[in-house]
Amino acid sequence: MSAVSAVPAPPRMQCRDVTVRFGGVVAVNSVSLSIPPASIVGLVGPNGAGKSTLFSVLSGLARPNAGEVEFDGTDVTGTSAQHRARLGLARTFQHPEVFSGLTVREHITLAHRISTRRSRIWSDMVTARGFRRAGQEEVERVDSLLEGLRLSRVAAQPVAALSLGMTRLVEIARALAANPTVLLLDEPSSGLDAQETAQVVEVFRLAVERRGVSLLLVEHDMSMVLGLCDYVHVLDFGVKIASGTPDEIRADPAVRAAYLGEEQAPEQGEVTS
pLDDT tens-place string over residues 189-211:
988 899 999 989 999 999 999 88
Residues forming beta bridges with residue 35, ordered by sequence position: 13
**What is the band of 117 on the pLDDT scale with cuts at 50, 70, 90?**
low
Report whether 236 contacts 227 (CB < 8 A): no
Phi, psi of 104 (to 5 degrees): -60, -50
List the CATH number of the domain containing 31. Answer: 3.40.50.300
Last residue of a domain, one of 148, 179, 210: 179
Does residue 209 sit in the same domain as residue 238?
yes
Q: Where is average pLDDT lowest: 120-134, 213-227, 233-247? A: 120-134
Final residue before a domain boundary, out of 179, 212, 229: 179
9 compared with 133, residue with greater pLDDT: 9
End-to-end CA distance of the chain: 52
The pLDDT value given to residue 259: 74
How many CB atoms sit inside 10 A of residue 251's CB?
13
Within-domain flag for 21: no
- For residue 132, what pLDDT is reported? 58
Structural domains counted in the chain: 2
Band (pLDDT 50/70/90 cuts) for residue 112 is confident
- Cα-trace Rg, the chain: 19
Of 109, 144, 179, which marks where a domain is finished? Answer: 179
Check whether residue 201 and residue 172 sit in a common domain: no
Where is average pLDDT lowest: 64-68, 229-233, 263-267?
263-267
- Does residue 2 belong to any structural domain of this protein? no
Same domain, 144 and 80: no
Same domain, 184 and 84: yes
Highest mean pLDDT among 92-96, 105-109, 232-236: 232-236
For the cut 60, the answer to whether the pLDDT of residue 149 exceeds it is: yes
